[in-house]
Amino acid sequence: MWPGDVLKVGAAGLRTRPTRALLSALGIAIGIAAMVAVVGITSSSRAELDRTLASLGTNLLTVAPGTTFTGAQAELPLQAEAMVGRIAPVQVVSAIGMVGQAKVYRTGKIPPVQTNGLAAYAARTNLLTAIGGQVASGAWLNDATGAYPATVLGALAAERLGIGRAGPEVQVLIGGRWFTVIGILRPAALAPELDTAALVGWTAAERELGFDGHATTVYTRSRASQVEAVRAVLGATANPQAPNEVEVSRPSDALAAKQAADAAFTGLLLGLGAVALLVGGVGVANTMVISVLERRGEIGLRRSLGATRGQVRTQFLTESLLLSALGGLAGAALGAVVTAGYALPAGLPVVVPGWAVAGGLAATLAIGSLAGLYPAIRASRLSPTEALAAR
């Protein structure tokens, strides 16, 4: 038979039993949709992460005090920033310092124990340049406002305090002193510790809150080609007397580790999708076996009219492939829709890898071939007299 005739004959069995064909294809569709959606959602999240890293850069290094040999909290020297700034490839140095026990409250009527996990930090005026941060409302600290009771809130800090915008009429209580909220930051991807912080100027923190001047985190931006070299000497430079009491980290590494964890989770979900696909294949095989039993008369008639065993086998194998392909196409489309439905509201780029769709369709055809092979062989082995006698 010509290929067109093969497709017509194979599709005839599906048209005569549309409900059964739809239900059988549904199992394949669910499996493919799960696999495409998992890969699509993961790829969209990875694309957003790559976009974030591309915009913020991977050359940010941080220095923080570790612990002493006795297990006590270490402290960075007062000259740590200046010493780090002497490293030749370092382009930007900034810092924050935790302001002792100063807590942040919306009003003076809040119980002291309800801190909402917020803390006050002294901040250098070039902090946003170092971390790639952005202001969502108001303005950032400068040399003038940094010397007065003014504060900039992190994104989560503002949310927990119930403050939607900055302004001269908006004030918060920090360490028992009123500070005017002059700005609110956007979420800081590479410095999440700032999201729950109330940031005040270095001078104001020393004058109003008794800040001791010791930085608790030093941020550095280096030339991209020299990041690892800077990382190797950063601890010893920040605290020459006790380099073992310094922790050096690269924030982009944490995001990369998160991406790796997501990849492992993706593998698990793909395994579940593969199980669903296998179950769908079993459903197709079951449908085809029943179809052979119900259509023995048709098989006998075709055989008596001269159809060869190979042609009968091709007919049922084609029907199985069409059934699987129908489910595969529907599943791929559904997976793409699910990916878009997840990515768009979250502000992520919609990425559905072509290899995932092509791989899913190839898997459906492979499963369709395997699922239809036994029923096709069984149908081709029926003799005309036996098949017509069962009609």
- What does DSSP say about strands 60-65 and 171-174: parallel, antiparallel, or unpaired? unpaired
pLDDT of residue 156: 96
Q: What is the pLDDT confidence band of residue 265, given thresholds at 50, 70 and 90?
A: low
CA distances from 60 to 130, 218, 226, 233, 245 (A): 8, 10, 11, 15, 20
pLDDT of residue 210: 92
Across 85-94, 261-270, 275-284, 312-321, least confident range: 261-270
Q: What is the pLDDT confidence band of residue 129, given thresholds at 50, 70 and 90?
A: very high
Write the DSSP symbol of residue 241: T
Average pLDDT estimate for 225-242: 90
| Gap between the Cα atoms of 124 and 127, Å rounded | 6
For residue 36, pLDDT beyond 80: yes
| Gap between the Cα atoms of 283 and 26, Å rounded | 9
Return the sign of the alpha-carbon dihedral for residues 178, 121, 205, 166. Answer: negative
pLDDT of residue 278: 72
| Gap between the Cα atoms of 198 and 332, Å rounded | 47
Write the DSSP symbol of residue 73: B
Q: What would the DSSP string read from start to end of 179-205?
A: EEEEEEEPP-SS-GGGGGEEEEEHHHH
- What does DSSP say about strands 177-185 and 171-174: parallel, antiparallel, or unpaired? antiparallel
The residues facing 98 across adjacent strands are 121
Helical spans, DSSP H, in 243-353: 251-294, 296-304, 309-346
For residue 338, pLDDT beyond 80: yes
pLDDT of residue 34: 81
Q: Within 10 A of 100 (CB to CB), how many other CB atoms are there?
A: 14
Torsion (CA) 30, 31, 33, 34 in degrees, nearest 10: 110
pLDDT of residue 376: 66
pLDDT of residue 319: 77
| Gap between the Cα atoms of 284 and 23, Å rounded | 9
Q: Are 84 and 63 in contact (CB under 8 A)?
A: yes
Average pLDDT estimate for 16-29: 74
- What does the mean pLDDT of the chain come to? 82
Specify the 3-state DSSP secondary structure of 66.
coil
pLDDT of residue 193: 92
CA atoms within 13 A on the CB side of 197: 21
Highest mean pLDDT among 65-79, 101-115, 170-184: 170-184
Residue type, 362: A
Cα–chain center distance at 99: 34
Torsion (CA) 259, 340, 283, 296 in degrees, nearest 10: -140
Q: What is the pLDDT confidence band of residue 106, given thresholds at 50, 70 and 90?
A: very high
Average pLDDT estimate for 185-189: 91
- What does DSSP say about strands 177-185 and 135-138: parallel, antiparallel, or unpaired? antiparallel
The residues facing 151 across adjacent strands are 181, 200
